[in-house]
Amino acid sequence: MASNKIYLGDRGHVFTIQTYVDLSSVNTVTLQVLDPGGSLLTWVGSITVAGSGTMNYVTQSGDLNTAGVWEAQSYIWKSNSSYFHGDTFNFEVFSLYT
């Protein structure tokens, strides 16, 4: 049975983020992620629906390496050198068997 929880070491979890920015002329979309230990990470995402401002990030091996509450915020670079931060959101990574 699948769970809605995110667990340590999970790969392939899809974060879908609504940025509210037209991503048609965007160079790069990332998630700036603060892990529970205070380290700032950058996860490079992909644009899924440019006009509506939707991006995805799919977790990779090694991404979810600490249990606890994480914070994330989209960060978007447009071709004219402007950039935008999205709303911050939290997610929890659980230890195995919890």
The pTM for the full model equals 0.88
Total domains in the fold of the chain: 1
Does residue 1 form part of some domain?
no
Q: What is the pLDDT of residue 16?
A: 94
Q: What sign has the CA pseudo-torsion 68, 63, 29, 33?
A: positive
Q: For 34-67, what is each residue's pLDDT tens digit?
A: 999 999 999 999 999 989 899 999 999 999 999 9
Among 94, 48, 56, 61, smallest CA distance to 72 is for 56
**Which residue segment(s) compose the domain that 41 sits in?**
6-94
Q: How confident is the model at residue 2 (pLDDT cuts 50, 70, 90)?
A: low
Does residue 76 form part of some domain?
yes
Q: What is the pLDDT of residue 1?
A: 47
Q: What is the pLDDT of residue 21?
A: 84
CATH number, domain containing residue 70: 2.60.40.1220
d(CA 33, CA 57): 11
